[in-house]
């Protein structure tokens, strides 16, 4: 069954180390979660993703509903069997698509009507219906339908999104989930600290087993992101896990953990890898830079990933210049490995009460690199 165990809290910051117990295994937190929107981390096998250190992965209910369909996945024995991943899975609801596919949807109090970007079919998603879809997928952690805004947002739009997200959260909370599943509440609320606190209080009052913070990293200044994360985590139950949605750039991840975040995800590591950009301790490294054309050193001497163990920067650059698929695969593996190792290093620093000094030093190095 689902349960969160808070193992240790750093004495000088809000950083926490915990254990997330799920029906498909435990997850050590802080945890980075690779994004597999369509039930796959693009270009990689589940064995490779596990080998890169990933403990839990994401999939998107909206996209899986469109293709191949929840009925087929359920008939295959659920999403774990269908995608051949035996660890924990978190499914997003499709709430972000309310924001990103605005030209294809209509929003009302009873839910969202989408027109499929694939074949034009119309779908109506209700809060209860989304929970039912996710229950049938069989994910360990599921997200309710919510309303995400872009930055900036008019006060009236913020108020309406906050009201509707809370309304949908209450309806989602009443819907049955599959045995062992945990439905998290999502805090929205715009870009003012007071509205975020109000939204956090309203969602926390519903007694979810975990909480997510959505609607950030959508164009707002980074300093604002950090302030709003802190405003929310201060109002959420300490005994519950906290998930920052869609954030996974290394410095932002560190800043989020400083403010009490336990879980975070982002498409950036794999998306950057597919375009020839590696994440390193010194910032982004682009293999398209001519300086790497004859570089016979690895991306990172200390990294255990396949890209760093067996290949030089010059060879990896050659793969991208030649259009070979091995290049994006190797850099995707490297970037996931980098993020999971970063999370593990953060956990060790928290457990040893040295997270403040460690994060200050790392963030100072990143300040000019990101």
Q: Which two tokens stand for residue 278?
A: 């590696």
Beta bridge partners of 142: 91, 183
Q: Is 119 a catalytic residue?
A: no
The CA-based angle 187-169-263, given to 5 degrees, is 40
Q: Which of 10, 92, 140, 146 is catalytic?
A: 92
Q: Which two tokens stand for residue 348?
A: 């060790």
Q: Which of 146, 262, 265, 300 is catalytic?
A: 265
Q: Which two tokens stand for residue 80?
A: 């774990």
Q: Is 265 a catalytic residue?
A: yes
55 neighbors 27 (Cβ within 8 angstroms): yes
Alpha carbon distance 134, 129 (integer Å) = 9
What is the rounded end-to-end Cα distance, in angstroms, of the chain? 40
Beta strands 277-280; 89-92: pairing state: unpaired
Q: DSSP 3-state assignment of 18?
A: strand
For 98, the enclosing helix (H) or strand (E) is helix 95-100
Question: Tokens 């295994």, residue?
Answer: 25
Using CA atoms, how far residue 98 sits from 11, 81, 93, 159, 308, in Å, is 39, 29, 10, 16, 39
| Residues marked as catalytic | 92, 265
């Amino acid at each position: 069954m689902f349960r969160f165990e808070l193992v240790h809290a750093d004495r000088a910051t809000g950083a926490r180390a915990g254990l997330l117990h799920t029906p498909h295994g435990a997850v050590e937190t802080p945890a980075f979660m690779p994004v597999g929107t369509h039930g796959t981390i693009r270009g990689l096998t589940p064995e490779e993703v596990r080998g890169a250190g990933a403990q839990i992965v994401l999939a998107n209910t909206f996209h899986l509903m469109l293709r191949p369909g929840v009925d087929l996945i359920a008939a295959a024995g659920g999403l774990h069997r269908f995608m051949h991943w035996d660890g924990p899975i978190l499914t997003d609801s499709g709430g972000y698509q309310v924001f990103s596919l605005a030209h294809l949807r209509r929003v009302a109090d009873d839910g969202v009507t989408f027109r499929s970007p694939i074949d034009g079919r119309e779908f109506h998603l209700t809060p209860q219906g989304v929970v039912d879809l996710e229950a049938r997928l069989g994910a360990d952690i599921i997200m309710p339908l919510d309303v995400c805004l872009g930055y900036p947002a008019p006060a009236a739009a913020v108020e309406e999104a906050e009201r509707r997200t809370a309304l949908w959260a209450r309806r989602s909370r009443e819907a049955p989930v599959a045995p062992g599943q945990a439905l998290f509440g999502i805090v929205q609320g715009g870009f003012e600290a007071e509205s975020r606190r109000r939204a956090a209080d309203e969602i926390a009052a519903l007694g979810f087993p975990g909480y997510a913070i959505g609607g950030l990293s959508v164009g707002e200044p980074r300093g604002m992101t950090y302030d709003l994360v802190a405003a929310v985590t201060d109002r959420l139950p300490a005994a519950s896990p906290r998930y920052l949605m869609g954030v996974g750039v290394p410095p932002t991840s560190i800043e989020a953990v400083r403010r009490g975040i336990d879980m975070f995800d982002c498409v950036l590591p794999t998306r950057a890898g597919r375009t020839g950009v590696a994440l390193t301790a010194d910032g982004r490294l682009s293999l398209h830079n001519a300086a790497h054309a004859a570089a016979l050193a690895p991306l990172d001497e200390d990294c255990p990933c396949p890209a760093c163990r067996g290949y030089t920067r010059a060879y990896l650059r050659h793969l991208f210049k030649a259009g070979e698929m091995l290049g994006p695969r190797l850099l995707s593996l490297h970037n996931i490995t980098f993020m999971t190792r970063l999370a593990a290093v953060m956990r060790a620093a928290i457990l040893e009460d040295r997270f403040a000094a460690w994060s200050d030093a790392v963030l100072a190095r990143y300040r000019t690199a990101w």
